[in-house]
Amino acid sequence: MKPISDNRPLVLYHGISSYHLLECILHRLTRHPDANAILILPDFIFEKYPQWKRLKGLFFDRVFLFPYGRIPHKNETQIFSDTARFARKLFPFPLQNFSKIYVAGAHFYFSLYLIQEKIPFTAFEDAAGLYRCPFRLWEALSARFPLHAALADRYGLIDLSHPLIQKIICLKETKTPYDRGNRLEHFSVEEVLENLPLKQRKKVIQFFLRKKIRTKADGILLTQQFSNQGLLGEEEQLSLYQSLFAGPLRKVSLIIKKHPDDPLHYNAIFPGAQVIRPVFPSELLPYVFTKKPNTIYTWDSTGCENLKNHFEICRLGGDNSVPKPDYCQFGVPTGYRRASETKLFTK
């Protein structure tokens, strides 16, 4: 591997979730294959991907862990101070040296450091299609971390409106009310994966999953992390999936793909169903089975936005909402007034 001081363009990626990690890998491979690429991941990434060190040399030149777990959510002054201190300690060179900085998970505190230093950057939308629905990000973040949500909102890191954000990488539609100043750049994980050379795609998949999954299931259930986000209690989330099992999924042979951050167990709810144990982004589902099921069932997972060309998608939530505890049953939660229909942002 070439040293950090070589003459290649210096490119920085930041990601938080499994989806972000896959996006960063694919973007680096296809948009900056010859760059000196550095990746920033959160310090808690090892909980999902203990093999994270393999990213260095496999897809990136260096990988740093940002100590998010050591930044308490006390007040704005403390958060800015801690973030700047850790960023300066982490990097042995100025961030101004990077020709491009790409931030997935822009609502996390690393973006505040870039803003503090007046460094422009490109932001990825937080999940596929979520740029069009920023209220959903705010809703999930504010449920558990209200100060974090308020700061991200105040600095334009929820709707990605901050002027230092030069471009927004997202699933771009031909018309959207959120396209301010023609900043949107289309990037489809589904399309990129499909068009990757076979050997390269296999290399990406094998980082996350060592061998293919055998199943006789007819459908895949994608769970969501409602309880982990604080949007539902654990019992309420389990009750939701019990309702789905007793209702529309009662005759479906299922294999269950849990959200990478969903801590709940589904064996008791879906007796006889197969549960996928390895953690990987759902966008890899078209390539991980010896015999691929035809249908994906989900309440309203954003992961389906990058699976439409490979599966029949059955959205059980209907109205693109988080189920309200009073309506943990199959069907559209009637009477549920979403944040988008009221005043969302704090500014």
Q: Are 17 and 260 in contact (CB under 8 A)?
A: yes
Place of tokens 């870039």: 114
CB atoms within 10 A of CB 12: 25
Q: How does pLDDT run along the chain (347 residues), one tens digit per residue?
A: 344 557 899 999 999 999 999 999 999 999 999 999 999 999 999 999 999 999 999 999 999 999 999 999 999 999 999 999 999 999 878 999 999 999 999 999 999 999 999 999 999 999 999 998 999 999 999 999 999 999 999 999 999 999 999 999 999 864 555 566 678 999 999 999 999 999 999 999 999 999 999 999 999 999 999 998 888 999 999 999 999 998 999 899 999 999 999 989 898 889 889 999 999 999 999 999 999 999 999 999 999 999 999 999 999 985 545 665 554 444 433 332 232 222 223 33
Whole-angstrom CA distances from 165 to 95, 178, 181 are 15, 14, 11
For the record, the structure tokens of 124 come out as 């990825």
Question: Which domains, ranges and CATH numbers included, belong to the chain?
Answer: 10-206 (3.40.50), 212-341 (3.40.50)
Place of tokens 């002054």: 77
Place of tokens 């309702």: 243
For the record, the structure tokens of 111 come out as 């973006």
Q: Are 208 and 288 in contact (CB under 8 A)?
A: no
For 211-225, the DSSP string reads SPBP---SEEEEP--
